[in-house]
């Protein structure tokens, strides 16, 4: 289980995350939602080690990971895919993934194109297949569609064999069709790998359709947590975020 306790991060006078205590059950699929500026990205930055909290704890299966380096947190089992793509655009999908697999195994990254370490390409192709990218294995990454570039970003995080995967707005910037294709792939991946998956999402149709549980942040604090049904009916969430009772309520 991933848990945070009393987590706090201030930027000047603003408490972006303010005494947040939350838990994410092993193997669960959770959406983190909230208005702009609620602290969602800061929350992910604190868990993944991009930011160090002012106070509080982050624990994975009881082990303290607070304040560890990003690399140490990845090794502990927390992966993250970003809103902004993080691959090498001039390399193919497979080459990018071989690099990630090899680095994760502590193998030298040099000479990878000509001499990939034994087993690394097979594992890279397996990961590509999990995200539906197998047919693009030899495509130069820069030539992928926007949606496939986001899938590659997730594949790169997956190559590091995380137990927890954080996805920051996986459908950002996508049209409706591409958006649902992405969500279907993410959901399939979650089922297949048995990950603890936590995602930030602004599209409430997606959130209510796929999340098992939802955590709502507002002004850096936990406004509500519960099942999609709990959240839809929560007066504080409706007032602060959803506006009217959610129209997509029957979609789930
Ligand atoms: N590096 C920073 N320096 C100063 N203030 C910051 C920094 N990062 C975030 N903040 C502030 O912290 C608060 C929370 O920001 P954060 O980006 O975490 O919210 P968010 O919920 O992810 O927003 P959005 O939905 O718009 O992405 C905001 O008031 C923001 O201006």
CA of 37 to the centre of ligand 1 (A): 5
Same domain, 10 and 129: no
Same domain, 133 and 201: no
Same domain, 174 and 155: no
Ligand 1: which residue has its CA nearest to atom 12? 16
Position 100 scores a pLDDT of 87
CA of 220 to the centre of ligand 1 (A): 9
pLDDT one-digit tens code per residue, 200-225: 999 999 999 999 999 999 999 999 99
In this model, does residue 31 exceed pLDDT 80?
yes
Out of 139, 161, 183, pick the residue that ends a domain. 161
Out of 114, 129, 161, pick the residue that ends a domain. 161
Whole-number percent of the chain with pLDDT over 70: 90
Give the DSSP letter string of 155-168.
Answer: HHHHTT--SEEEEE
Position 146 scores a pLDDT of 87
Position 83 scores a pLDDT of 60
In this model, does residue 252 exceed pLDDT 50?
no
Domain that holds residue 10: 1-71+163-252
Specify the 3-state DSSP secondary structure of 36.
coil
Instruction: Say what the ipTM of the complex is.
Output: 0.97
Position 86 scores a pLDDT of 76
CA of 214 to the centre of ligand 1 (A): 20
Confidence label for 249 from pLDDT (cuts 50, 70 and 90): very low
Give φ, ψ of 104 to 5 degrees. Answer: -65, -35
Same domain, 1 and 50: yes
**Other CB atoms within 10 A of residue 85 CB:** 17
Strands 221-226 and 213-218: antiparallel
Ligand 1 pocket residues where CB is under 6 Å: 11, 14, 16, 34, 36-42
Give the integer Cα–Cα distance in Å for 169 and 32: 10
- CATH number at 93 reads 3.40.50.300
Ligand 1: which residue has its CA nearest to atom 18? 39
Over range 177-198, report the average pLDDT: 92
Q: Rg of the Cα trace of the chain?
A: 18
> What token pair was written down for 211?
């999340």
Out of 111, 135, 161, pick the residue that ends a domain. 161
**Count of domains in the chain?**
2
Give the DSSP letter string of 74-123.
Answer: HHHTEEEE-SS--S-TTSBHHHHHHHHHHHHTT---TTTTTSPPTTHHHH
């Amino acid at each position: 289980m991933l848990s945070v306790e009393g987590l706090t991060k201030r930027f000047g006078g603003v408490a972006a995350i303010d005494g947040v205590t939350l838990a994410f059950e092993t193997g669960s699929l959770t959406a983190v939602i909230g208005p702009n500026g609620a602290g969602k990205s800061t929350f992910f930055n604190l868990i993944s080690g991009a930011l160090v909290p002012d106070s509080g704890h982050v624990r994975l299966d009881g082990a303290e990971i607070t304040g560890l380096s990003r690399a140490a947190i990845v090794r502990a089992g927390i992966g993250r895919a970003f809103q902004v793509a993080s691959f090498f655009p001039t390399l193919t999908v497979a080459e990018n993934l071989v690099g990630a697999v090899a680095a994760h195994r502590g193998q030298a990254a040099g000479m990878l194109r000509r001499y990939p370490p034994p087993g690394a390409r097979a594992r890279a192709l397996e990961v590509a297949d999990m995200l539906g990218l197998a047919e693009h294995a030899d495509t130069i990454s820069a030539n992928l569609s926007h949606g496939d570039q986001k899938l590659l970003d997730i594949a790169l995080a997956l190559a590091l064999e995380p137990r927890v995967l954080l996805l920051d707005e996986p459908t950002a910037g996508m049209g409706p069709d591409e958006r649902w294709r992405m969500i279907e792939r993410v959901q399939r991946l979650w089922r297949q790998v048995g990950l603890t998956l936590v995602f930030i999402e602004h599209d409430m149709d997606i959130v209510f359709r796929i999340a098992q549980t939802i955590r709502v942040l507002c002004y850096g604090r936990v406004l509500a947590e519960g099942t999609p049904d709990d959240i839809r009916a929560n007066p504080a969430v409706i007032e602060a975020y959803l506006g009217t009772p959610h129209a997509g309520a029957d979609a789930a």
